[in-house]
Amino acid sequence: MQRLRELSRLVEAVYNDIDHTYGKYQQDSGLQCRSGCGACCNNPHIEATELEMLPMALSLFDRGQAEVMLDKLAEYNGFSCLHFVRQSLDGNQGYCGEYAHRPGVCRMFGAAAVKAKHGLTLSVCKTIKQDVPQKYAAGLIALGEGGVPVIPHDKERIRQLDFSLSQQELPLNKALSAALQRVLTAAWYSAEDAENQVA
């Protein structure tokens, strides 16, 4: 269990850095999310690794909600990420119910660079493009000047913290289930070790 906690702290340190870097770029470039928008969470195809979900799984465990959440995930047949709190019928408005512990993919999506055939290109979500088309054009022109966070680089920084927990990209709900199962198993063995030491 201690190893998972240490690993989670390392992941969170990278997340803090990502939040700062991506937030600053999005603010400086004006490529910011529409207020109240949650359209990208209303999507069943977002994927993350088990490692990316480890901070959320440990937080749920510490709040005594790990087993309950595992059951909810097993029964859930909704369309999107289980943590998306919808505030409009079409699902375009809403917020993240586990924002502080959201995975890396959710921290990087919006406006950042991705790898393309001949170098980097700017990946900006449809809503932001619609809202600020001139800023999107300016961002594309400024791409060669550097200073744009690059999603694959930061995904790799997270992956390097633990390759075995980063092997597979899974839909978010499945990735969280896997992380919760790992945390609960580790907690069970830790408790058993402690009991044996007392005995």
Which positions touch ligand SF4 (CB under 6 A)?
33-34, 37-41, 46, 81, 83-84, 96, 98, 102, 106, 109-110, 125, 127-128, 172
C-beta closer to ligand SF4: residue 125 or 161: 125
* Smallest gap from residue 158 Cβ to ligand SF4 (A): 15
C-beta closer to ligand SF4: residue 91 or 152: 91
* Smallest gap from residue 119 Cβ to ligand SF4 (A): 23
C-beta closer to ligand SF4: residue 36 or 147: 36
DSSP 49-113: -HHHHHHHHHHHHHTT-HHHHHHHHHH---SS-TTEEE-STTS-BEEETTGGG--HHHHH-SEEE
* Smallest gap from residue 197 Cβ to ligand SF4 (A): 38
Q: Residue 146: which region, alpha, beta or left (left: phi > 0; alpha: psi -120 to 50)? A: left
Contacts (Cβ under 8 Å, ≥6 apart) of 131: 34
* Smallest gap from residue 116 Cβ to ligand SF4 (A): 20
